[in-house]
Structure 1
């Protein structure tokens, strides 16, 4: 049972890492296109912050 839990956690970790990378790429593209302080850039940045917070919580469970 411990092994299956570990595999599940690893899968969830990989999904989270992929989401972070995709959101990071989107933020950079949006910032280049619209500027660092555009509302869209700031919204994507906040989404990235939320994902990074989830990653931090993942490690402290």
Structure 2
């Protein structure tokens, strides 16, 4: 089930990010939506790892 972000209506996304050419088949549109969701999850994971790394390892003094 598509949500508002999959339709390209979420603020903060690039203008072309939500673009889906009309000539795509139904299964291609579904695959594109899934790849976009996966891409978004991976970007979120990267941000979490960046924040964790920025804190650095804590060593006892």
The aligned residue for residue 7 of structure 1 is: 29
Q: What is the CA distance between 1:5 and its match in structure 2?
A: 0.1
RMSD in angstroms over aligned alpha carbons?
1.9
The higher radius of gyration belongs to 2
SS in 2 for 1:17: helix
The aligned residue for residue 26 of structure 1 is: 48
Q: What is the CA distance between 1:33 and its match in structure 2?
A: 1.4
Structure 2 gaps, min length 5 = 1-23
Structure 1 gaps, min length 5 = 39-61
User: Which 4+ runs in 1 deviate beyond 6 A?
Assistant: none
* Cα distance in 1 between the residues matched to 2:42 and 2:55: 20
Q: Which has the higher helix share?
A: 1
